[in-house]
Amino acid sequence: MSLSLALSMAAFALAASLSPGPVNLVAFNLGLNRGLGPALRHVSGATCGFSVLLLAIGGGLQWLAQWTALMHAIRLGGVLFLLYLAWRLARSDGALVQETPGRAPSFVAGALMQWLNPKAWIASSAGMAAYTAGDPARVVPFALIFFGICYLSVGSWALLGARLRRRLPSPAWVRRLNRGMGLALLVSALMLATMPLSGSGAA
């Protein structure tokens, strides 16, 4: 594989992973409310979840992304999940807590967010079609490049939240920010509910 192809793959992965979206908003909020350590469970789950989806699409499941009924079901699941997360943020009391096992979104929840995101399916299909060109030897390298860039991209949102955690003066400020994040997730859910089943973006 040429260097120019690898750089093009990396650029695609960065554009899909770094832009604001539900996965990145949750990573930011976890970093803010619980610190970097718990947030990294979500980051790891989201990255692994997308990478497994990418490999599955590259392995021949791309036809699933063309099955409209499945994409509608995935979209409905994603909307409901985002609404649930928005509701939890709206109810937050603004207290910054230490790691509490079982309460923060887990590795599995991070992965689930990707599998319930139709845009992740579409991005996977588009990426594999554009960069593997039917060559199975390119599938794993593409997935590995995407894994590294996705982890760093989503992790940067978690790190931003963790840094801000040290600077907010009171729980009242955290409550405002949590409700702002909840509103952003609500908007994301509404956009997901109304979007056509085409486009790109994984995070």
Handedness of CA 62, 189, 184, 22 (dihedral sign): negative
φ/ψ of residue 167, rounded to 5: -115, -15
Q: How many CA atoms lie within 13 A of 41 on its CB side?
A: 16
Residue 96's pLDDT is what?
59
Average pLDDT over the chain, rounded to an integer? 82
Query: pLDDT digits over 64-94, tens only?
Result: 666 777 777 877 887 888 888 788 778 776 6
How far is 29 from 17, CA to CA, in rounded Å? 17
Higher-confidence position of 86 and 30? 30
pTM of the model as a whole:
0.79
